[in-house]
Chains A and B, each alone.
Chain A
């Protein structure tokens, strides 16, 4: 494999996926906030809530369409750029994607048209039902894509078949109820809810600071404060820490996040700060809090958090065992009926993927020396400083969000949320933070999975298509130019819509005079 093609394929996937996920979280959360707002409208019958729902609905639409457009790329990119991956695990990985289309995309996309066009064509209650279907559809799509992604992190319910040279499903239930997928689903949708809550909170704060549309802004902010507090607690407390003890790669992720080079006596301490040094495999200037990590990661006082060096030793054993499986597969290719080789394969098949790691250094893994195997074992360690810092920034933002929404909730309960100017400013400048945390979270999950495309099964460098660098550069430049242009247009339209405000016609009720004099922000 051409290393340039591998790097470029990874770059393109990262760019298009991270870009796609700028729009998805807002869709996930705002759709449910629209349900809440419209429910209040249906229950109280007060027109202001219709204005509120329709206003956030317009912003939802501008955002939603880019999620849809960039999602197209994602559905086909496994085939275009990760062709060997698609062959190798398509028997398992394709199903959640197909079900996502049938169960979720049809639902959200069909009803989103009615949500925008159907205001005057059905009863209030029916329209609320339509809005709910959109929210349900978007969240179901997150469920299925995270079942697919969770399987890449913890490939249960499948086994390699030498007859077809691919992984095949053995237990679909295990794929569906993969604990990592479930933890990821809760964590990801909660992050989306936080993202939408901050968006609504921040824009409402902007209106309140300027003394404009106070009636709409106050009410929107109340919804955001309550929804945001619940979601930010959920995103942190139900974070996907719980899955970190399951597989070797998940353990490695945890060790890399903590820069735990060696297994520490239980219960392990958590490193708050430090400078991980990959050359010496130590962490300098570490500031540790005793016990905490052991408690979080193992939910016990005596569970150990395995260090990276110990995990590397284990990987070394698995590579050695995997080479036997690899040899058996090569012999079965020539003679599928060889019973002895079949038995040898069955004994070592769990480690086949580890033998494939050697292909980065030697064409035939069977020729690898013990020294090469020992050196290759270190390939299972991901980029430690990147993991270390992404996690800390993400977690810091998570805790900050809890604080922000706790304050918002308190102020809203005291009915002081429209007049506490320092808080309004804080809410406004906080708008980008959830996006930063979410993108870092994805980097953590996917870079932490390296060197694997499928944990323990298929290394990333073997998963690509047989493309040329020129073809990849063409599409990377093409997507960047297209996506860049669309991003600029999107942000401008958002700002224009926010500036235009919630009221569509002159006959709409005018906003009640606020308690704050209208004046430009000075800070």
Chain B
């Protein structure tokens, strides 16, 4: 139905859709968890915050899991190279993400204050650490990772955990935290009753919105003037078989901006990133809650899309080997697998979106302190 080139483009776009889907849904759960100890002081307040995401976080988390599975199916090279390369960072991420479900479910099972406070901090870790690690990982993808492939296409990684935390990667990590905390804060203003928690969420939301704009701008400046970017020397064959060794890459400072000259419409993504954050800020200060939530969603979508579009056709460049970089044209599954998976996704994703919206509608309405105190089904 589609040729190999189109299938690869579709899967490159779908990877973006899954990542953005993850940021828009689970992103606010992470932000809410990171804000938990700060926006809510008393036990009732904290339970209100936890229950604002209580019924939905499990479904949201599946965006992350499915994202992993989809990368495995469509981009096996990316799955194999990145997760084994960023090995200890992945462990950190998984350990933090494991704390989160358990924290949600177990925290309120016992009345003991020390128990609950420990879980509140576990939830904070489960929100803050993943947000940070995701950003640091994206920063390292932009910088290029120190890996090379041998003639059997086995990947060797030449770096360490601490080596990931370069200034630019940390900047990306903080941007990711700011972006998701903003999204979490706008969710809270929308979902919890008016009162102290609502007010504090507005305060943190404003700070996060400003931080998003500033950090995103700083990131852009580094990409423009720093020593970062890759360029393809040989012309890639979009219909060729997936073997990265046949591509030659060179490092060219500023190359990540090249696409915006080739395809000016791509500027839309960074513009959305800035405009969304500003919209969220305006919405929060004026008390327009739906607008601010929409704004933070647009900001996250715009920022993530900016990364993908700037790097196109690269997905994971190698910083140490000219013949190992992974691109849209050399790192995918076969046309057959991509085609089957396009079909499966086209059938299943709309169904998922339909029942997710239904679930959202069923749980519509603000969480109140009164309901927290009386509803036996609440965490």
Contact = CB atoms under 8 A, between A and B. Distances in A.
Contacts of B243: 163-165
A90 B65 contact: no
Interface in A235-250: none
Contacts of A102: 66, 69, 344-345, 348-349, 352
B376 A83 contact: no
Contacts of B71: 94
A465 B348 contact: no
A75 B378 CA distance: 29
Contacts of B154: 83-84, 87, 466
B368 interface: no
A125 to B, nearest CB: 14
A496 B58 contact: no
Given A75-B65, A109-B58, A471-B87, A165 B97 contact: no
A475 B88 contact: yes
Given A61-B105, A122-B362, A70 B98 contact: yes
A514 interface: no
Contacts of B363: 113-114, 117-118, 121
B68 to A, nearest CB: 5
| Interface residues of A, dominant DSSP | helix
A72 B94 CA distance: 7
Interface in A96-151: 97-103, 105-107, 109-114, 116-122, 133
Interface stretch (B35-43, B132-140, B332-340): B332-340
B105 A79 contact: no
Nearest to B86: A80
B109 interface: yes
A163 B64 CA distance: 32
Interface string B26-40: 000000000000000
Contact of B88 (A75, A98, A466, A474): A474
- Kindly state the interface size class of chain B when it binds its partner: 35 or more
A94 B72 contact: yes
Contact of A118 (B55, B84, B100, B337): B55
Interface in B65-83: 65-66, 68-74, 76-77, 79-83
A56 interface: no
A504 to B, nearest CB: 5
Given A116-B377, A493-B106, A111 B84 contact: no
Interface string B10-48: 000000000000000000000000000000000000000
B336 A172 contact: yes
Given A166-B153, A482-B95, A466 B62 contact: no
B152 A165 contact: yes
Given A109-B62, A117-B55, A95 B73 contact: yes
Contact of B73 (A98, A168, A333): A98
A164 B65 contact: no
Interface string A346-362: 00000000000000000
Nearest to B72: A94
A209 B77 CA distance: 57
Given A101-B70, A106-B62, A76 B151 contact: no
A91 interface: yes
B215 interface: no
B59 interface: yes
A84 B80 contact: yes
B102 interface: yes
B72 A79 contact: yes
Interface string A304-342: 000000000000000000000000000001000000000
A42 interface: no
B83 A68 contact: no
A424 interface: no
Contacts of B90: 76, 79-80
Contacts of A466: 84, 154-157
A110 B59 contact: yes
B76 A90 contact: yes
Contacts of B105: 61-62, 65
B259 interface: no
Nearest to B78: A79
A467 B66 contact: no
Contact of A117 (B156, B333, B340, B377): B377
Contacts of B349: 102
Contact of A112 (B58, B87, B242): B58
Nearest to B149: A87
Most buried by A among B97, B102, B104: B102
A486 interface: yes
B109 A98 contact: no
Contact of A482 (B98, B356, B375): B98
Given A102-B348, A106-B352, A465 B65 contact: no
Contact of A98 (B55, B69, B80, B98): B69
A478 interface: yes
B231 to A, nearest CB: 24
Interchain residue pairs A-B with the least CB separation, the first 9: A90-B76, A79-B83, A101-B66, A94-B73, A94-B72, A110-B59, A83-B84, A465-B84, A113-B55
Interface of A: 61-62, 65-66, 68-73, 75-76, 78-81, 83-84, 86-87, 90-95, 97-103, 105-107, 109-114, 116-122, 133, 161, 163-166, 168-170, 172, 333, 465-467, 471, 474-475, 478-479, 482, 486, 489, 493, 496-497, 504-505
5 contacts: A65-B102, A69-B97, A90-B333, A113-B359, A466-B84
Given A95-B344, A110-B359, A163-B243, 14 more contacts: A65-B104, A65-B106, A79-B84, A84-B155, A87-B155, A99-B344, A101-B69, A106-B66, A113-B363, A114-B55, A114-B359, A120-B377, A166-B153, A169-B340
Interface of B: 54-59, 61-62, 64-66, 68-74, 76-77, 79-84, 87-88, 90-91, 94-95, 97-98, 100-102, 104-106, 109-110, 151-157, 241-243, 333-334, 336-337, 340-341, 344-345, 348-349, 352, 355-356, 359, 362-363, 375-378
